[in-house]
Structure 1
Amino acid sequence: MSTDKPLPFIYQFAAGAVAGVSEILVMYPLDVVKTRVQLQSGKGVGEDSYNGMVDCFRKIVRNEGFSRLYRGINAPILMEAPKRATKFAANDEWGKFYRNLFGVTKMNQSLSVLTGATAGATEAFVVVPFELVKIRLQDRAQSHKYTGMIDCVTKIVKNEGPMTLYQGLESTMWRHILWNAGYFGCIFQVRALLPPAKDRKGQILNDLMSGAIGGTVGTILNTPMDVVKSRIQNSPKVPGQLPKYNWAWPALGTVMKEEGFSALYKGFLPKVLRLGPGGGILLVVFTGVMDFFRKWRGDQ
């Protein structure tokens, strides 16, 4: 993603880890609210239902306590380091692969989209188990079954089998392919359109703007897949019973048929509020850490 000289993988990994953990510590409550709204299949009527982001925030804090907004954060904290590191490292490595494959010396818009999509598919393999545990802990109806992350993993493996931890892999791949294609593609385009930064402050502002726009576009593209992914991963395996939500595209059709097209964008507001600004935070921290490493190595 950077226009500077690529650093070895270990530096990309470390920068991605720091950026990811920084973003999640700031934005995690919005993820809890997003998941609660996405898992709700009916209208937000009554104390156990939510009719929007603000109502969900209010009812969680009032009925379950403020700390519930951070329920399940251990799983994504453990996930964010390898997830973000994989995202940025895979994006750089796939970028080099495609440039060599097509004989292109510099990244362009088409290659940015292709590279981001491929990096997203790569990233999905890393995050699926963490995502499933996080979803189970965030859901109000299921969270009481587990005392924490380790207990959740243990019970899932014992009661549903170890491969259940990879339930929703297909929908997760689609979610990450769409988000990363939009995110990295937009970053490239927006950076090209913005006036060149004259100093470090200007560079930070450019990174915040391009990252936020990229995060917003990625969210618009992938929210329907995020909705069905949440429902697929929140469906416990029952012997002899086919889950209502199983594969991504049929699940999209089921949601749209039963609840209307708008249901595919449930949780969009808290998601975009997290991943829009979060995308900016992510890019600024990642770029800053990479610049630190370059300076430390004497590459600047």
Structure 2
Amino acid sequence: MEADILFHFAGLDAPSGRLAVSDFAKVLDASWHNAYDFGVKAAGIASDTAAKMSSKGQGLLYGVLESAHHFALGSLAGAFGAFMVYPIDLVKTRMQNQRSQRVGEMLYKNSLDCARKVVKNEGFLGLYSGVLPQLVGVAPEKAIKLTVNDLVRGRYSDPKTGAIWLPHEILAGGSAGACQVIFTNPLEIVKIRLQVQGEIAKTTDTPRRSAMWIVRNLGLVGLYKGANACLLRDVPFSVIYFPTYNHLKRDYFGESPNKKLGIVQLLTAGAIAGMPAAYLTTPCDVVKTRLQVEARKGEQTYKGLVDCAKTIYRQEGFRAFFKGGPARILRSSPQFGFTLAGYEVLQNLLPLPGSEHANDPRGHAEPAVGLAEARAPLPFIRSRNALKVILDLDESSGKPKMPKGQSWVGIPGFGGRSGGAAVAA
């Protein structure tokens, strides 16, 4: 009887996550019903009605709290991912800003040479020049990107299966990329100018500028210089990245309502998805860098997006559009892997009270730990463990009375016994 009750309650799908009087009434034997049965049912109906009305009234507030929760988790995950790969981002920026093709004037031969010279001339901390503004700015940038993608996908996803039509996936990714430019462009222009100023600080009297000096000098309009190139880079990136990431999780790694992926699998899916997204958008990133960096004395200046692209092609050739491409792959691929893996881990560790992650066990798998993935649904696991506890305390729990001359052998898998039926003595 106890096991039946536990299995019954574990399989309930009440949105509130609470047990009402009517839930207990369902497990009672019909012979126990009495004159108060009608009153019990009426109380249960009234309780359920009140819960539904309260739920409707709090719907708007809960939606705001849910968005704020997504935003906070996305901020933490974005800052973590950006910090992990920031040295690669600095190398990428300096390679893209290197304009001369004459050997005598080239600062860096390749990305590895660039990293070595930065450490040699500026110290190890030189690889983190401008990291603080990056961490401050990347939090809202990644948060709005992940939040918009989640909201648009949730709007068009099937509520039962989670399936979504590919054009809607593309729409979700593109919307996320477009919205993030509000934060991305000011962040990028400040970060780029901080990253390249170390190149000439050792050989000239040019003083190092702080992030606040750059912001005040540029002004509000100046902070959005090159925004069209930034938009041209971020929208295609997200259109490629998010659908690829979700299809890798579902189709390659086999994620389903009853199988949650481990951290390594999430990182791998994010890293693989970031490779084509990063490399194919490198030309737009090169143009954006050239527009946003402060031109030094004697360097080429550009009138706009089209003029910049034409000038680079005319003076440096087509290969110049892929400068820093390998570094961009090495940066973007693990960065978004770290970000998305961190975001999903934080969603599981810090669920919003009352959300699906916190209250509803349907379709949720046992939490994955480390490298392992979880396959069994939580209701089954909880019920199984509860049954084991009951049988450990009382082996006779739930056993029917046997006719004379027969005895109960046991249930397979419990108490070390084999068999599962009554046998003659």
Give your verdict on TM over 0.5: yes
- Correspondence for 1:215: 274
CA–CA distance in 1 between the matches of 2:285 and 2:133?
A: 18
Which of the pair has more CA radius of gyration? 2
* Aligned positions, number: 283
CA–CA distance in 2 between the matches of 1:26 and 1:165?
A: 25
- Correspondence for 1:224: 283
Structure 1 pair 40/206, CA: closer, same or farther in 2 (3 Å)?
A: same
Structure 1 pair 48/258, CA: closer, same or farther in 2 (3 Å)?
A: closer
CA–CA distance in 1 between the matches of 2:227 and 2:156?
A: 25
Moved more, 285-294 or 52-61: 285-294
Structure 1 pair 145/109, CA: closer, same or farther in 2 (3 Å)?
A: farther
Structure 1 pair 195/36, CA: closer, same or farther in 2 (3 Å)?
A: closer
Give yes or no for the alignment of 1:93 onto 2:155.
no
Structure 1 pair 117/248, CA: closer, same or farther in 2 (3 Å)?
A: farther
Name the structure, 1 or 2, with higher relative contact order (CA <8 Å, separation 6+). Answer: 1
Report deviation, 1:234.
1.1
Q: Are the equivalent residues in 2 in contact too, given 1:31–1:274 (CA < 8 A)?
A: yes
- Correspondence for 2:242: 184
CA–CA distance in 1 between the matches of 2:286 and 2:127?
A: 19
Q: Are the equivalent residues in 2 in contact too, given 1:171–1:247 (CA < 8 A)?
A: no
- Correspondence for 2:138: 80
- Correspondence for 2:127: 69
Report deviation, 1:74.
1.6
One-letter amino acid of the structure 2 residue matched with residue 117 of structure 1: G
Structure 1 pair 44/34, CA: closer, same or farther in 2 (3 Å)?
A: farther
CA–CA distance in 1 between the matches of 2:304 and 2:147?
A: 29
Matches within 5 A, 1:36-185: 36-43=94-101, 45=103, 49-96=107-154, 106-140=163-197, 144-157=206-219, 162-185=220-243
Moved more, 176-185 or 139-148: 139-148
- Correspondence for 1:3: none
CA–CA distance in 2 between the matches of 1:233 and 1:86?
A: 23
Structure 1 pair 136/152, CA: closer, same or farther in 2 (3 Å)?
A: same
Please give the root-mean-square deviation of Cα atoms over the aligned residues, in Å. 2.8
Deviations, residues 257-279 of structure 1 (Å, cap 9, x unaligned): 22111111101111111111222
- Correspondence for 1:299: 359
Deviations, residues 133-177 of structure 1 (Å, cap 9, x unaligned): 1111111357744432112222333xxxx3111101111111110
Gaps of 5+ in 2: 1-62, 361-425
Q: Are the equivalent residues in 2 in contact too, given 1:44–1:51 (CA < 8 A)?
A: no
Report deviation, 1:221.
2.0
Give yes or no for the alignment of 1:30 onto 2:92.
no
Q: Are the equivalent residues in 2 in contact too, given 1:212–1:279 (CA < 8 A)?
A: yes
CA–CA distance in 2 between the matches of 1:275 and 1:122?
A: 19
Structure 1 pair 44/76, CA: closer, same or farther in 2 (3 Å)?
A: farther
Report deviation, 1:108.
2.8
One-letter amino acid of the structure 1 residue matched with residue 273 of structure 2: G
Report deviation, 1:63.
1.6
Matches within 5 A, 1:214-253: 214-235=273-294, 244-253=301-310
Secondary structure of the structure 2 residue equivalent to 1:294: coil
Report deviation, 1:229.
0.3
TM-score, scaled to structure 2 = 0.61
One-letter amino acid of the structure 2 residue matched with residue 175 of structure 1: R
Report deviation, 1:98.
5.5
Q: Are the equivalent residues in 2 in contact too, given 1:99–1:106 (CA < 8 A)?
A: yes
Secondary structure of the structure 2 residue equivalent to 1:254: helix
Structure 1 pair 163/260, CA: closer, same or farther in 2 (3 Å)?
A: same
Deviations, residues 214-254 of structure 1 (Å, cap 9, x unaligned): 1112102211110010110114699xxxx833433442232
Report deviation, 1:106.
3.5
Relative to its length, the structure with more helix (as a share) is 1
CA–CA distance in 2 between the matches of 1:276 and 1:105?
A: 25
Q: Are the equivalent residues in 2 in contact too, given 1:216–1:276 (CA < 8 A)?
A: yes
Q: Are the equivalent residues in 1 in contact too, given 2:98–2:106 (CA < 8 A)?
A: no
- Correspondence for 1:273: 330
Q: Are the equivalent residues in 1 in contact too, given 2:153–2:164 (CA < 8 A)?
A: yes
Gaps of 5+ in 1: 1-5
- Percent identical among aligned pairs is 30
Q: Are the equivalent residues in 2 in contact too, given 1:228–1:245 (CA < 8 A)?
A: no
